[in-house]
Amino acid sequence: MFGISGPDIRRRNVVPLSAAQTALLLCLLVAPAVVLSGCGRPTEAHDALVIGIDQDIPTLDPAMHRSRTVEAVLRNVFDGLVTRDPNMRIVPELAESWRAVTPTEWEFRIRAGVRFHDGTPLTAEDAAFTIRRTIRPGAIGGQSSPRKGLLGSVIGAEARGELILRITTGEPYPILPKMLTFHEIVPKAYIKRVGDAEFARRPVGTGPFRFVQHVEGERIVLERFDGYYGGAPDIPPVGPARIKRLVFLPIPEVATRLGALLAGEIDIAEKVPPHTMRLLQRTKGVRLSTCTGTRTYFIGINCRRPPFDRVEVRRALATGVHLQRVVDRILGGTATVLAGPLVPAAFGFDKGLTPRRFDPAAARKLLSQAGVAKSAEFELDCVDNDRELAEAAAGQLSELGIRVRPRVWKWDVLQPLLAAGERDLFLTSWGNASLDPSGILLPLLGTGARGNHMGYSNAEVDRALERSQTEFDPRKRADLFVRVQRQVYQDVPAAFGWAREEIYGVRDRVRNWEARPDSMLMMHRALLATDGEAEVAR
């Protein structure tokens, strides 16, 4: 296994090789070295904007993934019916306007004069095709889209004329416009002609950049689409993209991604860790771009397992861990401590709740009242990326008189154990790019829900969540969510929590681009200053 012990070679009477054989062997070995010695030319300057992303892009079909990185890249090639502006407001993109005709029927008016990269005009039929392709089993070359759930109760879509799209839902679905931000419109005619597999290799969309090349695991090259209709009118400036070439390089290793930024090989590095911020600020020609993300981090508590089935114990844990200190120290203050599962930017966020105050004395008292033995031992699970946070939190919890040990897992191993309810405490997170509570409260806190590894169950919460699904009145919906947040605050199924800032390292020559909460890498409006301009700007 270690490759040290060789094969079983015993000395035998070796017959010498002929001189020719030896010469051949040596030539084969030496020739490449001669070629290699010519290395060492510095990297050339170039006019492409290059972004280092943190993972490979396994497919280019916008309906065939559940990855935010894939979406962040593809959003440059494809547009949706609606999109979000930098403040996460929903604004029209390929749709000009929309309305709910009945609680279960929606009508979207498609923008006229939009063309796909292959020249075909966009019609309502393309939009209807996109939606049908996503919700129908086996509709994509015999495979089903994993994005069906992102269309909730949508059951059908059809074109009513050239530019009118009718979407039908099985039950009232108030968040349809929000959810349509996750769906990029694909060309029906092109896909019918070349097939789904070829479409996934050479995609065609209506976005500001057209696809040029994808070398899997290595790079995705896009080029400005000159026939672009200009993008969402509500997000100025409107017009074609301002950079000529856009390149995405998957660089999974953090240090390598940073190294590439420092060496000038890439212009933007995503997911930069907080501890490197000072280095980047000190570095000439590089700046930072940050904003609070949509993912909530928390320490889940398994409510089914004694002693955590008692709310006092859970409250003790949540009171006895100084999350503010943890995120200040480990994340360099690049996180916001939260009172509950929702981030402040989310719909229905309860401003009335404040994060629990750290009070170790009260926590100790609660624990001893609940009769938790001083020697009690628990494990706090986490994945490798969160190990520092978990170690710090476990250290604090251990000062309450119990023993909490961090345990570092790989997510694929931990996930099934959490789902089976076999663990005590776990530091984990839940992403909610829709910023609608339906994307986090429901799957995280509903009884038996997919992400409810806490085993939390509260009939009132379930009822409120159920009602929120079909409630059209935004104010009533928000009230329902506030009620859920208050109940959850009382029940403490987890020590909430914090939202982290998304941090990007950006070279100065990149202008007019800032980090977005939904971590989309929309480069439509970005531009590249020439070297001289970048110098003057400093």
Sites for another protein among residues 231-290 (CB under 8 A): 247, 249-260, 262-263, 265, 273, 275-276, 278-279
Distance CA 235, CA 91 (A): 8
The answer to whether residues 334 and 277 touch, using CB atoms and an 8 Å cutoff, is yes
Instruction: Please tell me the distance from the alpha carbon of residue 446 to that of residue 466, in angstroms, as a whole number.
Output: 9
Please give the residues from 173 up to 192 whose contact with another protein meets the rule CB under 8 A. 179
Residue choice 109, 166, 202, 219 for contact with another protein (CB under 8 A): 219
Q: Measured from the CB of residue 523, what is the shortest distance to another protein in angstroms?
A: 15
Contact of 445 with 435, CB cutoff 8 Å: no
Residues 365-384 close enough to bind another protein by CB under 8 A? 383-384
Window of 35-43, 78-86, 107-115, 236-244 that interacts with another protein by CB under 8 A = 35-43
Angle of helix 360-369 relative to helix 311-320, nearest 10 degrees, comes to 160
Distance CA 428, CA 353 (A): 22
> What's the number of CA atoms in the CB half-sphere (13 Å) around residue 368?
8
Residue among 439, 455, 505, 517 that touches another protein (CB under 8 A): 439
Residue list 298-327, contact with another protein (CB under 8 A): 325-326
Please identify, using beta-carbon distances, which residue of 370 and 417 lies nearer to another protein. 417
506 forms beta bridges with 268, 287
Give the range of 20-28, 84-92, 463-471, 507-515 binding another protein by CB under 8 A: 20-28
> Does the footprint of another protein cover residue 12 (CB under 8 A)?
yes
Sole binder of another protein in the list 163, 176, 339, 392 (CB under 8 A): 392
Does 34 interact with another protein (rule: CB under 8 A)? no
Segment 125 to 144, residues that bind another protein, using CB under 8 A? 137-138, 140, 143-144
Backbone conformation region of residue 435, classed left if phi is above 0, alpha if psi is from -120 to 50, else beta = left
Question: Phi-psi category of 390—alpha, beta or left, where left has phi over 0 and alpha has psi -120 to 50?
Answer: alpha
Q: Which is nearer to another protein, 313 or 503 (CB)?
A: 503
User: CA 36 to CA 31: how far, in whole Å?
Assistant: 9
Largest CA distance in the chain: 92
- Determine the Cα–Cα distance for residues 488 and 348; give it in Å rounded to an integer: 14
Burial of 440 (0-12, 13-18, 19+ CB in 10 A): buried
Least separation in angstroms between CB 482 and another protein: 19
Distance CA 140, CA 197 (A): 8
Q: Is 2 in the site for another protein (CB under 8 A)?
A: yes
Query: Position 26: which residue type?
Result: L
CA neighbor of 432 nearest in space, from 150, 171, 223: 150
From 48-56, 96-104, 166-174, 521-529, span contacting another protein (CB under 8 A): 48-56
The only residue of 434, 452, 468, 485 in contact with another protein, by rule CB under 8 A = 434
Shortest Cβ distance from residue 25 to another protein (Å)?
7
Instruction: With beta carbons less than 8 A apart as the criterion, state whether 472 and 479 touch.
Output: no
Site residues for another protein, window 458-517 (CB under 8 A)? none
What is the nearest approach in angstroms of another protein to the Cβ of residue 10?
6
Pick the closer one to another protein by CB: 110 or 465.
465
Least separation in angstroms between CB 112 and another protein: 31
**x/- letters, 197..216, toward another protein (CB under 8 A):** x--x------------x-xx
Classify residue 400 as exposed, middle or buried by CB count within 10 Å of its CB (0-12, 13-18, 19+).
Answer: buried
Region of 377 please: left (phi>0), alpha (psi -120 to 50) or beta.
beta
* Least distance between another protein and beta carbon 254 (Å): 5
What is the identity of the amino acid at 409?
W
Q: Which residues, in sequence order, are bridge partners of residue 157?
A: 167
| Three-state SS at 158 | strand
Spatial distance between the Cα atoms of 329 and 396, rounded to a whole number of angstroms: 13
- Contact between 14 and another protein by CB under 8 A: the answer reads yes
Least Cβ distance, residue 162 to another protein (angstroms):
31
Q: Does 36 bind another protein (CB under 8 A)?
A: yes
Is 193 near another protein (CB under 8 A)? Answer: no
24 in contact with another protein (CB under 8 A)? no
* Binding residue (CB under 8 A) for another protein from 103, 149, 237, 352: 149
Residue from 10, 357, 475, 538 touching another protein (CB under 8 A): that is: 10
For another protein, the closer CB: 221 or 376: 221
Kindly indicate which of the ranges 61-69, 97-105, 309-317, 353-361 contains the residues binding another protein, using the contact rule CB under 8 A.
61-69
Bridge partners, residue 210, by sequence:
223
Q: Which of residues 65-84 bind another protein (CB under 8 A)?
A: 66-67
